[in-house]
Every structure is written in structure tokens, then in C-alpha cells.
Structure 1
Amino acid sequence: MSGEDPSAREAERERIRLLEFQLDYLRAELLHLTHERYRMIYSVSGHVYRFLRPIEQRIADAAAALFAKFRPSRADAPAPVEAPPPPIAALRLPARRLLIDVTGTIKRDAGTGIQRVVKEVVRACHGGARFEIPAFAVRCENGRLYTANAFTASLGGGETGPDTEVDVAPGDRFLMLSDSWNAFEELAPVFGRIRAQGGEIVTCIFDLIPELYPHACHEVTVPRYRAWLRKALLESDAFLAISRTVAGELADFVVETGLPHRPDLKIGWFHCGADIAAPATATPREKIAAAVAGETPAFLAVGTLEPRKGHRVALAAFDELWEQGVDARLVVVGRRGWFEEALAASIAGHPEFGKRLFWFDDVDDGELSYLYDRAEALVFPSYAEGFGLPIVEAALRGRMVICSDIPVFREVGREGAIYFRVNDPHALARTIRGVLAGDLSADPGRALGASWGEAARRIVEVVAHEDWLRRLP
């Protein structure tokens, strides 16, 4: 034991602490759901459900028995066959054009962060700036590529008229910037033509959270993500991550797990720009204005309510501050996600709700800018992220940032943020007290302040100059 590396022991302790935090979160959710179940049992609707429950159980038992009867045994089941990586093209030509696939965003624009990245990067590429190689949006239809004139025009581009077919040319690079997990089968014919011309397939990866923190994700996300990643590793010549941290995590994960991938797999990175471009609204809704009115300092937490975002840590920290007589507000901005029933109930039923605790799940960009401009600081207590866009948003609006001390936040926040021990509400409370007392501060101007134009230029330069972080044999 005396020869054990102290840094390894500390890393193991932090890993155990993170697992304990996840367990506590899920335990709180379970207790809340159990309470709700008991409450329902003793309500009128519960009495109705009591008679339906035995019928439901019989149907479930019958289905399970039928499945077991026809399910093949392990001995009869064929052994899984691991598909070898597709052969690499005999000739790889220098990059000549970057074709940015926007098929998924055109068909399925849910308004999420991923679609925002696609639209902002395409907007920058079609905004008149000159790049190392031509970079433009394309869409796929029946295995063929076309320009996306209507899409780019909606973003302010100058393209007009009907879409025209794009002939694959030698050295083309095809970037799947959108939700590629829905697209591999549809794009397979395109892959073949690009590789035949000495081109390459590049896939954007936003994070590795479903692999590294599966218990923080929705139950549907994990198997879907794992299937996508394994397929993407076989189909992609390169990956572009939205941060250097994620690029390193992907490279390490592939090496450690031994996942099959294309030979000479290249992994690089770029940084997202500021998501929030809308000016602050001059007439926010009354409830928005009330949350930051007066002299009481307001701390803003931006992000979907889900386990990894750390809202429970923030609430515990402010409970401690309020118990100690500290007058401060916590303003939460984010829609409901998953595994958050207990958290949502804790916020909505809190004695300070509507007084010094606020939660808005329907804020538009103008109102968010309004809140940023009037906040004392951003509080960002996540334990897992792919980038950390609120850090950039807050810093560009001159707001101080208080965030978890995790690698990707150090990458984005740099010397322009204040860091506290991840998943430690007491550490967060101490940090906030230090900020209010004037003992702690950071210059937001020293945080990452990338624009979307810079993000697009970085993407093109990585591809054009082969500026990759890692190459895996």
C-alpha cells in the first residue's frame, strides 16, 4: 500500500464520491415516486387502479411466459460476429471541399443544442467569409446529394432557386454535423462514392456521457447511443468533437475498450460559439422581471433539469446560505428533462419558491439575455458536459461564472471562471459567500469567447490542414 500512487488513490476516491452522488440522486427520485404511489393508492383514482392492477399483472406474466417459451437458449444462440472495419481507400487525396450534411436538421429540427450548432455553423459558412476550402451545406435524398438552398436562405444565406445535385468530387470531405445516429443507412451510398474519390467521412461527436455516465441518461438514450458509436467508429474516417476534452475522452475510450474502428482514425476538436445572440428584451414577462428586481443579488442556473446538471447541488447550497441569513436568489432556467420528479417537487414546494427561488421552463433568447444582464453570476454545477455553452454565454455578457471543477469547464472557463469541488454543495455555498463578500472574483473576459464564425473556421482548418489531436492505428 505504501507504494501506491497518491494521485491514483485520490482519483479512486473522487470516482466513488461521484457514484455515491448518483446513488443519492436516484434514491431521492425513488423515495419521491414511492410517496406518490402511496398517495395515489389512498386516493379515488388509486382505488380504481387497485382493481386493474391484478389484470395488468396477469397480462405481464403471460407475456413473459410466452417469451420464455420461444426464446432460444444460450447454447442455441449463434455467436455474435464482430464486423471488421471497412477497408481504407487506397488513395486519400487532400481535402478540396467540405460538404456539411444538414439532412437531419431539415427533417427533424427539434430546436435542441445540436440543431443550434448545425444552423450557426452553416450560417457562418454561407455568410460570405472566405475559408481555406469551400464549405457549404448539402442534403441527402434517395442516396444523392443536393444543395440546401431553402435551408441556407432561412439562415440569411444568399442562395435562391431550386436545389441542384452536388456531384461528388475528388478529395471531398463529408461532415455529419447533425444527428448522424439517424442517418447512416440513408447516407451509405454517399459514403461509397466519397471514398471512391479519395474523400473521407467526418462525424461530429458532442459528448461521451451515455458511455461514461449511463445512469445520468434517459433509459432509451444509452443503448441507442452505444449502437450509434460502434457504427460510427466503423463508418467514419475522422471525428470532430466540440471540445478538446471530449476528443481526448473519445480517443482514450476507444483505446481502453478496444472497440473496432477504421484504420488511422483521426480525432480532432473545435469550440462552439455563443448560442445566445438575441439582445435582451426590453419588456420581459412580469414573472421574469420580478425574479431579478430589487437589490437582492440573483444567481442564474441555466440548463435542462436532469441528474448531471447539478440543480440539487445548487439548491442544497442555497438552502445552507438561506439558513445562515445570506440574502441571495437562485433563478433556474431550463425545461424538465428526466429523472427529475423529486427535484421538480422540491423546487415547486420550497418555502422560498417565488420569493428567492425561481424556476422558468419557457424562457426565450431575449428573456434569457435579460436575466444574464441582471444576474450576479452564473452558477453551473454539472458533473458531466461536452462543452458548457452557458459559460461562454455568461462571459460574453460580462457575467461572472461559478462552475464545477471538471476538465471541460477548465477548458472553456479558463482563468475567467471560479471553480468549486464538483458535487459539493458546501463548497459551492462557500464560493458564493466569497463572491458576495468580494473575496473571490474572476474576469469573464478571460474565459473562452469564441464566435460561431471562429467555430466554423476552426472546423474547416482542422479538415483542410489535417490538424488532428490524435490518430488511432
Structure 2
Amino acid sequence: MQDEPAPEPPTPEDIRARADALRDQKRWAEAEAAYREYLAERPRHWQIHVQLGHTRKEQGDPEGALPHYRRAALLAPDDPDPMLQAGHVLRHLGRGGEAAEALGRALALAPESPDLRHVVALLRHRTLPPPEGPALPPPPRPAGKPTQIAFDVTDLLDYLRAARTPTGIQRVQMGILGALLAAPGRPANLLLVGFEGATWRWWHVDEAAFRHVLALARIGGREDDPAWRSAVAALVAPDARPDAPFLAGGTLCSLGNAWGVQEYFRGLRRLRATTPLRYVAFVHDCVPLAMPEHCLDLTVRLYARWFAALSLHADGILANSRATIADFARFAAPLAKPAPAGLVRLAAEAGASPVAASAAADALPAPRPGEEFVLFVATLESRKNHLMVFQAWLSLIRKLGPERVPRLVCVGRPGWRADAALALLAGSPALRRKVTVQSGVSDLALAGLYDRCLFTVYNSYHEGWGLPVSESLAAGKLAVVPAHSGLLEAGAPGAVFFTPQDEPDLVAKLEALLTEPGHRIALEARIDRAAARRDWPDAAREVLEALANPAEATAPPQPLPLGRHLAMGWRGEGRPSPDMAWAERVRDGLAWWWQEEWGVWTRDGIATLTLPASLPAGTLLRVVLELRGPPRPLALRLRARGARAEAWRGLTLQAGETLRCVLQAEAGPGGLAVDLDSGDGVPLGDRFKRVVGVGLLGVMLCREDDLAARLGALERAEG
């Protein structure tokens, strides 16, 4: 009987295929053994050294993965992947300095990689050189005309990521910026920028992509439309775009809601440290301060912090009405001398083709073609008080009969605290037959609705301006509005005013317009359509005029109040305060996390506090720090920098320990700075996977000879 031939030994390719199959099945230990068997035959195959590192990492041994990634890097010095993998593992291990070095080497090999640029930016706080030398004052604000005008569109891009149909402030931004970018004589130095709070990076927004998205938003459509999603994806991609090319002496202007942007003012301070520029913010209203009960609690708190910080950061303010300017001055008065304010009235553009607008309106579910209706354009939220309008409509139905009451078409997204209004609508069959609520209506279709409606109604507890009122009057249609705030200015060209929150007066005004056509026609004839209709180019010119001719700053930058304890926590105050502004202002550089109720964590590496003081150089100062230990013991180094950098001091904080530390130094040209070096920090164990250093609960700066302040700090320390 003939012996069967012995089976051929597996080739290296067979072994690798088996290892890859085991890896795909997540049988990590077996895959590791197979990869090692392969490398015994092909020891210079660097990609398999990377795979071997992955098997160790997936088995819970990230430290054991590092030698394999480093071996792969030696074998493939021109490929970024081994250093990228090593950097990820080092970040996981909390070795931020080594991670930053590894990822920096990877980026040097692939400088165009958006993913690598992003991850390296996240670790910039470990690659920057430590601060040295005396505490310096911030660079002076520029004088004269701006060398460049940059518009920050961060919040608008955030909105467009999630929605297609603009509302309120987004419509204002898109109208002004669209007009500026399309103007034949536009300034040559105009720039669009965005801010990414996670990496503290200002990036250059592509103008062509921005204009394309604005055009698509104007015509409306589905938010899941592939063309729309593709256009937005091409626009909102900061990692794929270069840094914003700011020029010294320029002006940065935010036309939108910067109060919701993470770490915004710290990003602005960081930008100003290298590029002196002015900052101007558009204040659309002060509703979260004037009417906090009609806003989300988070909105009130964010807005209050932003508003407080304006007192230390803004060189100028733009506002849409005299009422808003008065509100701004009233709420800013306790903070500091208000920044100069310029008036930019909002536009009510009437440039849509009547035929196209009518066709777009006819395509809506309601009203039916030829049906009479009254229009109410506003987000469904408690501040717009749809409930009162619905109750008024129900009163009209009962008084006049349903056949004499037209349909009420409400255009707007459901928003905050609209439950009562929607519950009334849902519970009343008579109301449901006469009221329609719809969102996602394009500007084109909205123009058609204005043209066809009998008149409009706009109810609100408080407004900065009231764009739907201007749009209604510009279309020649009466607007029924309460007589208060910015609505008095928006409605000045011919609105019908009723007593605010007076339902009987509203019903009476509505009944007269519905039952007396001659009365309505006579009032329509008195509308000053020219005054109401202001194209967006008009508003855009006013914006440019205000930015190109700034009021010169007369007061020096404010110093930190001496001798007063400054709590670093975000304690949920709904009113802006100087302490709130300074808690934001004193955090410098990149090595800080966001503020929390109790205080703020530093990151790994060196975090810096800047404490500006207007004192003669050499004045002896004392700073008292209230510190909190992270979840594990931490070795901390601290030093003060005033007239010079003092020697580092060391202390160890136990897990969760709170203590007070006193540092002394002579005042420098900019007051005092404090550096806190937490080394590689410790994992916090939260859902954000943060690595933290020391926590800061509070700080107090005083003259060394201020015995009252020192006694106050001692009493605070004793409870």
C-alpha cells in the first residue's frame, strides 16, 4: 500500500489569511498567535506588526501594544499609521505628552489628513512651549479703519447641520451675508470664518460652498435631500479647511448666536494674543434676561454668561432696534461702561417672483388655493403666545360663527413650552377646523403666503425687532401686533397695535378687520410700504458702514477687582455679573475644561490663569487659590509670574481633597499670571473620557498689604 504524501506546510500567506480571519472573528488571542507565526517568517512586514499591536490592545493590554506599533514605525518611517496608532494608545493611557509627540510625527508625514489634523489639535495644549517671562498686558486693540472684516458664521453652520429652513436670527444672518457676498462693490478684505470649540481653532469657511447652501435654503425642500446633505457636508467641514487668514488690525463680527458656541471667548482671547483685532457682536434681543420665564433654563444661563463676557471682550455692538439698544444698556450697566452700539434695522426683502412664490404657496398642505386665511409666522413657543391667539380665534368662532372666521395658518417649528397652545388646539374640534400649523416653509412659499393672506397677526411678550411684522407690511398686508419693545419700531409703517396681553382688545381688533372690509382696506392704504420694505443690501451696507468706521476705544482694559473672591464655578445664575465675566476671562490657554457648577477642571499639562491688575510694577501681590483634587492623587506644580517667573512649587493633592494655596509675586506689566502644571493628569471617569488635572474652585488676588482681604480669605478657609 502506497503511503499518502505528507501535507504541504502552510505558506506565510496561508498563515496571514488565517490570522486575518481570526481577527475578523474577534478571536484576539488566537489571532495574535497566528500573526506571531507569520512574523517569524516575514519579520519586516510592518503592517502585521500593527495588527499584532491591535490584538494586544483588544485583549486589554494597551501598554503591550506600544512596542509593536513602534517596531512598525521603525520599519516604515514614511507611513503615518504606526505613529497614529501609538498616539491613540498613549492618549488612552493618559500619557498626553508622549501622545502629542507621536501624533505630531504622524501629522508631519500626512499634513493634509483632516482626521490627523483634528486629533493633533486636540492635544495642542501638550505641544505648546510652557509660558515664561513676566505677566504681560493683552495687546492693545487696533486703531483706525480695519484692515479686514471677518464674519463669524459658526452658529449658522451649526443650525444648517440640523435644519434647512432658516428662522429668526438665521434668516437675518443669511440675508445680510448673502447681500454682502453678492454685492458688486463688496470690500476685497471680506472673510467668512468658523470657530471649533473642541480644538480652539478658527477656520476659513469656503465662500462658494456657503453661497450655494444659502441658495438651496432659500428655495426650500426636504432636509434629507441628497443634494442638500452633500452641499452642507462640503460646507461644514472644519478639519478639511485651512486656518482662517486673519490680518492684524481687522474686525471680527458675529451676526448670530455666539452665546451657544463652546469656549467662544477663550478662542477669541487666544486669537487676539497673536493677531490684534476688534470684536463686534450683533445683539438681536435680550429676551433671556428680560423674559427668562419664556426660555429654556440652559438658554438663560448660557446667554447670561455670554452677555457678561461681552463687557470684557466686545469693542462694539450692533442691534436691530432702539429698544434692543436700550435693553442692552440697561442690562450692561452693572457690568461696565457699555460698548458703543450701532443701529441696523432689519430688512423685509420683496424680490421673489410672484408667480414662483404663488406656486410654492399652492404646493403647501394649507391653505387651499383660493381659501381666505390669516397668517401667523413665529416659532411655536411660550414667548410668542400662540395660546392667546388660539383663544382669540375660538372666541371669534363662537361669536361670529365658523363660516365668518377664516383659517389661521401658523408657520413655525414647535419650540419651547408650546404644550398649552397645542393642547388647546388638539382639544377643540372647532379650532382644529380653523387652525393649521406647519413648519419647513421655504422663503419662496412664505412670500406667496404673505401675498395671499388677508392680514397677519404676531403676538409676543418681548421682541428685539419682529421680522414677520416688517415682511407683512412690506407686502402691503396689515400686521396685528402688541404695542411694546421692538415691535413698536417694526410696526411703525402701519401695523395695527393692541394692548399687550389683552385678549379682549386683540379680539376686538381682529373682529373689526374680519367684519369690516372697508376698514381693513383703508388701514392697508395707510401702510408705508417703502419704509417697511428694506432690502437686505440696505441692512448690509449699514453693517459695513458701522464696522468700517468704528468708535475709538477710550477706556483701557478693565483690571480684575482686587481683594474679592472669584468663584470659578458656573452656579446657574440667570443674571450677568462681573464675577461671571471674570470667571470666563481669567482662564488662559488651552489646558482648561469647561466650567461646571462647582468650579472648573484643568487639563493635563500646564494651565494658566491671567489676573490683570492696574498697579505699579513691583507691587507685592498675593493670590489665594482654592484647589480640588481629581479622583486619584495628583502631584501638582505651581508658580506665579508677575515681574518675573517665580520658582515652581510642588504639592500633592489626595483624591477629592480641597485645599487653599497662597502664592506671592511682584506685579508685572500685566498684573499676575499663575501656572498650574498637572503633568499627565488622571482619568476623570466621566462619559466624555476626560483626562483632568487639578480642579479650581476659586481665586482671590490682593495686594500683600491688604490685610482686610487676607483676613477675608482666612475666614473663608475656616468655613
TM-score strictly above 0.5: yes
Q: Give deviations 1:220-277, integer Å, cap 9, x for gaps.
A: 211122122222332222222233321221012211xx12x4x662222312323786
- 1:182 deviates by 4.1
Task: Assess if the C-alpha contact under 8 Å between 2:350 and 2:474 holds in 1.
Answer: no
Task: Assess if the C-alpha contact under 8 Å between 1:275 and 1:389 holds in 2.
Answer: no
Q: Give deviations 1:113-170, integer Å, cap 9, x for gaps.
A: 333333332221211332578433223465344353343342579xx99966554334
What residue in structure 2 maps to residue 129 of structure 1?
184
Task: Assess if the C-alpha contact under 8 Å between 2:473 and 2:493 holds in 1.
Answer: no
Q: Which has the larger radius of gyration?
A: 2
Q: How far, CA to CA, are the matches of 1:169 and 1:289 in structure 2?
A: 52
What residue in structure 2 maps to residue 11 of structure 1?
none
1:119 corresponds to which of 174, 192, 198:
174
- 1:90 deviates by 6.3
- 1:375 deviates by 1.0
- 1:354 deviates by 4.6
What residue in structure 2 maps to residue 96 of structure 1?
147
Task: Assess if the C-alpha contact under 8 Å between 1:101 and 1:177 holds in 2.
Answer: yes
Q: Does 1:152 align with 2:210?
A: yes
- 1:432 deviates by 1.9
| Aligned-residue CA RMSD (Å) | 3.4
2:545 corresponds to which of 455, 461, 468:
461
Q: Does 1:379 align with 2:471?
A: no
Q: Does 1:293 align with 2:373?
A: no
What residue in structure 2 maps to residue 280 of structure 1?
357
Q: How far, CA to CA, are the matches of 1:370 and 1:336 in structure 2?
A: 22
Q: How far, CA to CA, are the matches of 1:353 and 1:174 in structure 2?
A: 49
Task: Assess if the C-alpha contact under 8 Å between 2:493 and 2:532 holds in 1.
Answer: no
Q: How does 1:349-428 map to 2 (within 5 A)?
A: 349-428=427-506
Q: Report 1 or 2 for greater relative contact order, CA contacts < 8 Å, sequence distance ≥ 6.
A: 1
1:168 corresponds to which of 238, 241, 246:
246
What residue in structure 2 maps to residue 323 of structure 1?
398
Task: Assess if the C-alpha contact under 8 Å between 1:144 and 1:190 holds in 2.
Answer: no
Q: How far, CA to CA, are the matches of 2:366 and 2:183 in structure 1?
A: 37
Measured at CA, do residues 446 and 401 of structure 1 come closer, stay the same or move farther in structure 2, by a change above 3 Å? farther
Q: How far, CA to CA, are the matches of 2:214 and 2:441 in structure 1?
A: 24
What residue in structure 2 maps to residue 439 of structure 1?
519
Measured at CA, do residues 383 and 286 of structure 1 come closer, stay the same or move farther in structure 2, by a change above 3 Å? closer
In terms of mean alpha carbon deviation, does 228-237 or 457-466 score higher? 228-237
What residue in structure 1 maps to residue 339 of structure 2?
265
What residue in structure 1 maps to residue 305 of structure 2?
227
Any idea what SS the aligned residue of 2:409 has? strand
- 1:100 deviates by 0.6
- 1:425 deviates by 1.5
What residue in structure 1 maps to residue 386 of structure 2?
311
Q: How far, CA to CA, are the matches of 1:409 and 1:232 in structure 2?
A: 25
Q: Does 1:217 align with 2:289?
A: no
Q: Give deviations 1:47-95, integer Å, cap 9, x for gaps.
A: xxxxxxxxxxxxxxxxxxxxxxxxxxxxxxxxxxxxxxx9682653332
- 1:108 deviates by 4.3
Q: Give deviations 1:297-335, integer Å, cap 9, x for gaps.
A: 422111111112121222222223222226122222222
In terms of mean alpha carbon deviation, does 278-287 or 368-377 score higher? 278-287
In terms of mean alpha carbon deviation, does 131-140 or 170-179 score higher? 131-140
Paired letter, 1:98: I
What residue in structure 2 maps to residue 105 of structure 1?
156
Task: Assess if the C-alpha contact under 8 Å between 1:380 and 1:403 holds in 2.
Answer: yes
Measured at CA, do residues 372 and 415 of structure 1 come closer, stay the same or move farther in structure 2, by a change above 3 Å? closer
In terms of mean alpha carbon deviation, does 138-147 or 435-444 score higher? 138-147
Q: How does 1:201-216 map to 2 (within 5 A)?
A: 201-216=279-294
- 1:345 deviates by 1.6
In terms of mean alpha carbon deviation, does 281-290 or 167-176 score higher? 281-290
Q: How far, CA to CA, are the matches of 1:131 and 1:210 in structure 2?
A: 35
- 1:461 deviates by 0.7
What are structure 1's unaligned runs of at least 5 residues? 1-85
Measured at CA, do residues 155 and 243 of structure 1 come closer, stay the same or move farther in structure 2, by a change above 3 Å? farther
Q: Does 1:238 align with 2:306?
A: no
What residue in structure 1 maps to residue 638 of structure 2?
none
Paired letter, 2:341: I
Q: How far, CA to CA, are the matches of 1:115 and 1:156 in structure 2?
A: 11
Any idea what SS the aligned residue of 1:456 has? helix
- 1:293 deviates by 3.4
1:450 corresponds to which of 526, 531, 534:
534
Measured at CA, do residues 156 and 411 of structure 1 come closer, stay the same or move farther in structure 2, by a change above 3 Å? closer
Q: How far, CA to CA, are the matches of 1:90 and 1:113 in structure 2?
A: 32
Task: Assess if the C-alpha contact under 8 Å between 2:140 and 2:276 holds in 1.
Answer: yes
Paired letter, 1:116: R
Task: Assess if the C-alpha contact under 8 Å between 2:374 and 2:453 holds in 1.
Answer: yes
Q: How far, CA to CA, are the matches of 2:506 and 2:158 in structure 1?
A: 42
Task: Assess if the C-alpha contact under 8 Å between 1:302 and 1:333 holds in 2.
Answer: yes
Any idea what SS the aligned residue of 1:414 has? coil
TM-score (norm 2): 0.48
Measured at CA, do residues 268 and 299 of structure 1 come closer, stay the same or move farther in structure 2, by a change above 3 Å? same
Q: Give deviations 1:358-381, integer Å, cap 9, x for gaps.
A: 322343334333322221101112
TM-score (norm 1): 0.70
Q: Give deviations 1:163-207, integer Å, cap 9, x for gaps.
A: 665543343111122331244635645545547665311112221
Q: How far, CA to CA, are the matches of 1:252 and 1:133 in structure 2?
A: 37
Q: How far, CA to CA, are the matches of 1:184 and 1:340 in structure 2?
A: 27
Paired letter, 2:176: V
Measured at CA, do residues 381 and 179 of structure 1 come closer, stay the same or move farther in structure 2, by a change above 3 Å? closer
What are structure 2's unaligned runs of at least 5 residues? 1-136, 216-233, 559-719
Paired letter, 2:418: E
Paired letter, 1:434: A
Task: Assess if the C-alpha contact under 8 Å between 2:332 and 2:338 holds in 1.
Answer: no
Task: Assess if the C-alpha contact under 8 Å between 1:401 and 1:444 holds in 2.
Answer: no
Measured at CA, do residues 192 and 402 of structure 1 come closer, stay the same or move farther in structure 2, by a change above 3 Å? same
Measured at CA, do residues 187 and 217 of structure 1 come closer, stay the same or move farther in structure 2, by a change above 3 Å? closer
Q: How far, CA to CA, are the matches of 1:218 and 1:276 in structure 2?
A: 34
Task: Assess if the C-alpha contact under 8 Å between 2:153 and 2:255 holds in 1.
Answer: yes
1:334 corresponds to which of 398, 412, 419:
412
Task: Assess if the C-alpha contact under 8 Å between 1:240 and 1:267 holds in 2.
Answer: yes
Task: Assess if the C-alpha contact under 8 Å between 1:214 and 1:222 holds in 2.
Answer: yes
Q: How far, CA to CA, are the matches of 1:377 and 1:175 in structure 2?
A: 36
Paired letter, 1:328: V
Any idea what SS the aligned residue of 2:182 has? coil
Q: Give deviations 1:416-459, integer Å, cap 9, x for gaps.
A: 21111111111112112332313351415155222211111111
Paired letter, 1:365: D
